[in-house]
Every structure is written in structure tokens, then in C-alpha cells.
């Protein structure tokens, strides 16, 4: 639960810094609004956030169940499902720096 909390705080800080960069950065908001690579990067970030909901809720549920029952074991099917979500998050997350590098090289504008 603590790791998820820190993950959420870091995500919020990234969003705040990103918004500040769009409105107060050197390139101006027009560069970002009309740049399809920027929107692809934002979509990837949003998808990672949405994909993280299921694992987070499962982790919290498992933690509650383990606190109430010391012999609790995570069901194999649930564990496999969460692993798939985390893998998908990781794959989509890898696209974010690719889109950032493309933007830095002038693609999309």
C-alpha cells in the first residue's frame, strides 16, 4: 500500500510539472496542443494510470485479507491476472520515453 501511495504521489507530481511546462515552458502551449506525439505520450500515461487501478485494488484487498487471516494465500488466477496488468503497464510505460524523444527531435509538430 505504501508503494502504491508513493507511486500515486509521483504520478501527480509528474502531471503538475507537465502542466506547468505546457503553459509556462519555452515552446509555448501551441507546440503541445497541435503535436500528435505529445497526445500519444499523454494517452500512454493515461493508459498506464488506468491499467494500474486493478492491481492497486487487488493489492489492497489481498493486504486486508492477509491481515485478517494469516494463512491467506493469493489465488493463482488472481495473481496471474495482476501480473498481466503489470506487464501491460510496463510495456505501455516504455512508450512514454520513446514519444518524449520523438518530441525532442521535432516529430509531430
pLDDT > 90: percent of the chain = 63
Q: How many domains does the chain have?
A: 1
> Is it the case that residue 1 has pLDDT exceeding 80?
no
Q: How far is CA 102 from CA 62, 68, 105, 107, in A?
A: 40, 49, 5, 5
Please check whether residue 15 lies inside any domain of the structure. Answer: yes
* Predicted confidence (pLDDT) at residue 94 exceeds the cutoff of 90: yes
Question: What pLDDT, on the 0 to 100 scale, is given for residue 41?
Answer: 95
Within 8 A by CB and 6+ apart from 27, the residues are none
pLDDT band at 6 (very low <50, low <70, confident <90, very high): confident
Domain containing 9 equals: 2-104
Residue spans of beta strands (DSSP E) within 1-109: none
Mean pLDDT of 72-80: 93
Mean pLDDT score of the chain, rounded to an integer?
91
Q: Is residue 109 part of a domain?
A: no
Q: pTM of the prediction?
A: 0.82
pLDDT of residue 2: 74
pLDDT over threshold 90, residue 97: yes
Q: Report if residue 93 sits inside a domain.
A: yes
> pLDDT tens for residues 8-47?
889 899 999 989 988 998 888 888 899 999 999 999 999 9
DSSP-derived letter for residue 107 is T
Amino acid at each position: 500500500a505504501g508503494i502504491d501511495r508513493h507511486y500515486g504521489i509521483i504520478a501527480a507530481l509528474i502531471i503538475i510539472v507537465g502542466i506547468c511546462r505546457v503553459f509556462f515552458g519555452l515552446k509555448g502551449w501551441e507546440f503541445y496542443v497541435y503535436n500528435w506525439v505529445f497526445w500519444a505520450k499523454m494517452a500512454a500515461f493515461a493508459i498506464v494510470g488506468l491499467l494500474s487501478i486493478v492491481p492497486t485494488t487487488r493489492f489492497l484487498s489481498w493486504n486486508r485479507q492477509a491481515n485478517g487471516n494469516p494463512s491467506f494465500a493469493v489465488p493463482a488466477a488472481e495473481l496471474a491476472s495482476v501480473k498481466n496488468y503489470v506487464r501491460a503497464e510496463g510495456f505501455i510505460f516504455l512508450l512514454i520515453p520513446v514519444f518524449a524523444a520523438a518530441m525532442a527531435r521535432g516529430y509531430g509538430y
